[in-house]
Amino acid sequence: MTPEFVIEFVKEAVILTIAVSMPMLGLGLVVGLAVSIFQAVTSIQEMTLTFVPKIIAVFMGLLFFAPWMLDQVMSFTRRVIENIPMYIR
């Protein structure tokens, strides 16, 4: 196991982590921005108004993106487990 291999392996794991988390973070960002604009226009400064829509949007996005996320993580895990003999050498 060379240092280059370890760096590539960690790089692939980090990219997968970012890719899997990006839909939820993006939805939270978009909904948060929309709520902030709404609050600025209406001068309503209710704290729960910022959290509840984000939670609902992220939950709905999780329901929508869960199969894709699970497939990505499972394929990465499958590749890692199948290549364990190669990693030992």
Q: Give every CB contact of residue 57 below 8 A, 6+ residues apart in sequence.
A: 27, 28, 30, 31
Q: Please state, in angstroms and rounded to a whole number, the distance separating the CA atoms of residues 73 and 18.
A: 12
**What is the average per-residue pLDDT within 39-66?**
90
Provide the pLDDT for residue 26: 95
Q: Please state, in angstroms and rounded to a whole number, the distance separating the CA atoms of residues 4 and 41.
A: 53
Global pTM reads 0.78
What percent of the chain has a predicted confidence (pLDDT) above 90? 70
Provide the pLDDT for residue 77: 95
**What is the average per-residue pLDDT within 67-80?**
96
Judge whether residue 35 has pLDDT over 80: yes
Q: Pick from 11, 9, 2, 21: which is nearest to 72 by CA?
A: 21
Judge whether residue 23 has pLDDT over 90: yes
Q: Pick from 79, 68, 57, 77: which is nearest to 20 by CA?
A: 68
